[in-house]
Amino acid sequence: MLSLLLLFAAASPVPAESRQMLLSVSASWDQTRAILQPYGRPWEDAPWTPVGAPIEGSLGRTGLAWGRGRHPQGLPGPQKHEGDGKSPAGVFDLRLVTGYAKAPPASTRMPYREATPALRCVDDVRSSHYNRLADEATEKKDWSSAEDMRRKDDLYRLVVWVGHNDAPAVSGGGSCIFLHLRSGADTTTSGCTAFEPAPMERMVRWLDPAARPVLVQLPDAEYRARAAEWGLPEPRPRARDLGLAPGVFPPGPLNAITDVGDVRVGQLTLLEGETVRTGVTAVLPHGGNLFQEKVPGAVFIGNAFGKLAGSTQVRELGTIETPIVLTNTLAIGMAVEALVAWTLAQPGNEAVRSVNALVGETNDGWALNDIRSLTVSREHVVAAIHSATEGPVAEGSVGAGTGTVAFGWKGGIGTASRRLPERFGGHTLGVLVQANFGGVLTMDGLPVGRELGRYAFAPGDATADAPHPAHLADGSCMIVVATDAPLATRDLERLAARALFGLARTGSSFSNGSGDYAIAFSTAAALRVRHGDEAARSRTELPTEALSPLFQAALETTEEAVLNALLRATTVTGAGHTVEALPLDRLRAVLAKHGRPAPQGSAADR
Report the relative pairing of strands 515-522 and 293-304 from DSSP bridges. Answer: antiparallel
CA–CA dist 408, 196 (Å, integer):
31
Amino acid at 431: V
Helix (H) or strand (E) holding 216: strand 214-219
Name, in order, each residue with C-beta under 8 angstroms of 482's C-beta and a sequence gap of 6 or more: 257, 260, 263, 283, 285, 429, 430, 431, 520, 521, 522, 523
For residue 369, count CB atoms less than 10 angstroms from its CB and return exposed for 0-12, middle for 13-18, buried for 19 or more: buried
Give the orientation angle of helix 378-386 with respect to helix 332-344, to 10 degrees.
Answer: 60
Contacts of 132 by beta carbon, 8 Å cutoff, 6+ apart: 121, 122, 166, 169
Cβ neighbours of residue 600 closer than 8 Å, sequence gap 6 or more? none
Sign of the C-alpha dihedral computed for residues 539, 545, 550 and 554 taken in this order: positive
Strands 146-148 and 119-122: antiparallel
Sequential DSSP letters for 195-215: E-HHHHHHHHHH--GGG--EE
Dist. CA 155–CA 296, nearest whole Å:
44
Question: Helix (H, G, I), strand (E, B), or coil: what is residue 591?
Answer: helix
Q: Which of 335, 341, 456 is nearest to 400 (CA)?
A: 335
| Beta bridge pairs of residue 283 | 265, 324
Length of the chain equals 606
The Cα 199–Cα 210 span in angstroms is 21
The Cα–Cα gap between 77 and 125 comes to 23
SS3 call for 88: strand
If 0-12 CB within 10 Å is exposed, 13-18 middle and 19+ buried, where does residue 422 land?
exposed
CA 315 to chain centre: 30
Helix axis angle for 489-501 and 548-568, nearest 10°, is 50
- CA gap 202, 180 in Å, rounded: 13
Q: Give me the half-sphere count of Cα atoms (radius 13 Å) on the Cβ side of residue 53.
A: 30
Between the CA of residue 191 and those of 154, 164, 169, 489, what are the distances in Å? 17, 11, 16, 44
Contact assessment for residue 574 and residue 369, using Cβ atoms and an 8 Å cutoff? yes
Q: Do residues 539 and 502 make contact, with C-beta atoms less than 8 angstroms apart?
A: no
Q: Which residues are known catalytic residues? A: 476, 514, 516
* CA distances (Å), origin 48, targets 11, 185, 332, 584: 17, 29, 38, 16
The pairing of strands 572-574 and 33-40 is: unpaired
